[in-house]
Amino acid sequence: MKRLLSLSLFIGCMAFAQVSIAQTIAWFNPSKVLNNSKDGKKVLKAQKDLQDKFDQAVKAAEKPLEAEKKAIETEWSNLQANANVLNDKEKQRRMEAIKKRYDEWMEKVKTGQANLAKQQQQLTKEFQKIAEPFSKKLKTVAETVARAKGYAFIIAHDPENPQILLFAKAEMDITAALIAELDK
């Protein structure tokens, strides 16, 4: 009898805890908050501007390398086309010159790739630096909304691309409330 009472008390507590927990968890779609809030749009624009600037720098760096590559290819084609009229010594000299130019070009490409990797790391840091104030503000706003509505947890969840949370009740979505609070 004592065991039955303990078991029923335990089951009752667990049922209450499950109902209580289920009612205190809310979720929001981070992509929607970022894309639809004023501050989120500013973050996205600033990051896009940085990305565009980076892309232009990459194109500017690639342009002379591409031109040099075409010149080497043209020189190689000319050598092949004129191979019949050149003596072996001249063919060998031209091939060595082309190989030297190609090797130098490859070194420039490798150096450019290393520089690009460093610039991409810097770009990532700058993206994070731009997003950090927004993230802090979102956290503060989420905490304000959670306290006002009595939520114990607010979880980031994208219903279109679930990664951790595979299902969330639509009525527990507070994305619009967060956007409204952010835009105040």
How confident is the model over 115-147, as pLDDT tens digits?
Answer: 999 999 999 999 999 999 999 999 999 999 999
Beta bridge partners of 129: none
Structural contact between residues 28 and 142, judged by C-beta atoms closer than 8 angstroms? yes
Q: DSSP strand E in 11-117: where? A: 25-28
Domain range annotation of the chain = 25-182
- Whole-model pTM? 0.71
| 20/124 Cα distance (integer angstroms) | 41
Higher pLDDT, 11 or 161: 161
142 sits in which H/E element: helix 88-149
Structural contact between residues 50 and 127, judged by C-beta atoms closer than 8 angstroms? yes
Look at residue 15 and tell me whether its pLDDT is greater than 60.
Answer: no
Residue 171 is predicted with a pLDDT of 84
How confident is the model over 33-73, as pLDDT tens digits?
Answer: 999 999 999 999 999 999 999 999 999 999 999 999 999 99
| 150/19 Cα distance (integer angstroms) | 14
- Residue 28, burial from CB neighbour count under 10 angstroms (0-12, 13-18, 19+): buried
- Can you tell me which residue has the tokens 């790739």? 113
Look at residue 16 and tell me whether its pLDDT is greater than 60.
Answer: no
Structural contact between residues 33 and 138, judged by C-beta atoms closer than 8 angstroms? yes
| 18/6 Cα distance (integer angstroms) | 18
29: left (phi over 0), alpha (psi -120 to 50) or beta: beta
Amino acid occupying residue 40? G
